[in-house]
């Protein structure tokens, strides 16, 4: 098995379609197929993303009435509606051929979130990974997927140890290139004012590298084919993609 490098990319800010297209391109066209890659990124303005299989009619009922259509985007991954206005967002890509990529989805979900909880606890946030489900309400599945990400914690989400509030969730996509893991941490739950977010990010990356058996290395932004990237952004911005279901 090859030795893995976790390449940590610079933080960038983008719109909803741009960020989702970039994450997918990091899975599909990354220059070094043998390297995992991690990026934390920001949002140019208000933004919401939602899971690939979600119906747009439901999604619209969960958004503010004055939401600009350019502020929403369907993800290539699953999961629920995510409000990115006050979150800390990241993407992790694991290429084919490495043990972590071959784990069952629930296990990779748990392990990434254990790393995230470790980074939060390093700053005094009592974060834990949810390891059991409460009895479901009438008409609900036990720990079934929530239509809106931060309304209810699912199995192996990160929650606040004192209040039980959901701190972080994620969604995955697996294809012949590898695994794309998109995650979101809701900053208000952890007391954002007291957090050193740069230190949190560095601690999270270090924990991920240890979990992967990799060496974390900061790398410049990869040189993608600009026409392919702009074409993918255009696709992710289109009504055909957003209203696919």
Q: Which pLDDT score, from 0 to 100, does residue 71 have?
A: 92
CA atoms within 13 A on the CB side of 22: 24
pLDDT digits (tens, 9 = 90+) for 208-234: 999 999 999 999 999 888 899 899 999
Whether pLDDT at 141 is above 50: no
CATH for the 4-96+172-242 domain, from 3.40.50.150, 3.30.930.10, 3.40.630.30, 3.40.640.10:
3.30.930.10
Q: Which residues pair with 215 in a beta bridge?
A: 5
Distance CA 215, CA 115 (A): 15
Half-sphere exposure (CA, 13 Å, Cβ side) for 75? 26
Nearest to 127 by CA among 183, 182, 186, 81: 186
pLDDT score for 149: 52
**110 CB contacts (<8 Å, ≥6 apart)?**
129, 156
136: pLDDT strictly greater than 60? no
Tokens coding 172 = 């995955």
Element of type H or E holding 11: none
**Which tens digit of pLDDT belongs to each residue from 92-130?**
999 987 888 889 999 999 999 999 999 999 999 999 999
Per domain, the residue ranges of the chain are: 4-96+172-242
pLDDT at 98: 80
- Confidence tier at 168 by pLDDT (50, 70, 90): very high
146 in Cβ contact with 193 (< 8 Å): no
pTM: 0.90
What backbone torsions phi and psi does residue 70 show, to the nearest 5 degrees?
-75, -10
Contact 214, 92 (CB under 8 A): no
pLDDT of residue 137: 57
């Amino acid at each position: 098995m090859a030795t893995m490098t976790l390449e940590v990319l610079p933080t960038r800010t983008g719109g909803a379609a741009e960020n989702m297209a970039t994450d997918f391109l990091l899975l599909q066209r990354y220059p070094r197929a043998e390297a995992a890659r991690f990026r934390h990124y920001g949002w140019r303005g208000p933004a919401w993303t939602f899971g690939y299989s979600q119906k747009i009619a439901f999604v619209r009922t969960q958004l503010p009435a004055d939401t600009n259509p350019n502020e929403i985007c369907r993800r290539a991954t699953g999961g629920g509606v995510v409000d990115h206005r006050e979150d800390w967002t990241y993407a992790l890509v694991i290429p084919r051929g490495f043990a972590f990529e071959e784990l069952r989805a629930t296990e990779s979900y748990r392990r990434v979130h254990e790393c995230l909880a470790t980074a939060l606890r390093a700053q005094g946030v009592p974060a834990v990974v949810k390891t059991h489900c409460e009895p479901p309400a009438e008409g609900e599945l036990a720990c079934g997927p929530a239509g809106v990400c931060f309304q209810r914690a699912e199995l192996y989400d990160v929650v606040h140890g004192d209040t039980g509030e959901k701190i972080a969730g994620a969604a995955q996509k697996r294809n012949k290139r590898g695994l794309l893991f998109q995650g979101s941490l809701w900053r208000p739950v952890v007391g954002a004012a007291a957090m050193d977010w740069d230190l949190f990010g560095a601690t999270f990356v270090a924990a991920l590298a240890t979990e992967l058996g990799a060496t974390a290395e900061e790398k410049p932004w990869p040189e993608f084919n600009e026409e392919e990237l702009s074409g993918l952004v255009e696709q992710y911005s289109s009504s055909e993609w957003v209203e696919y279901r």
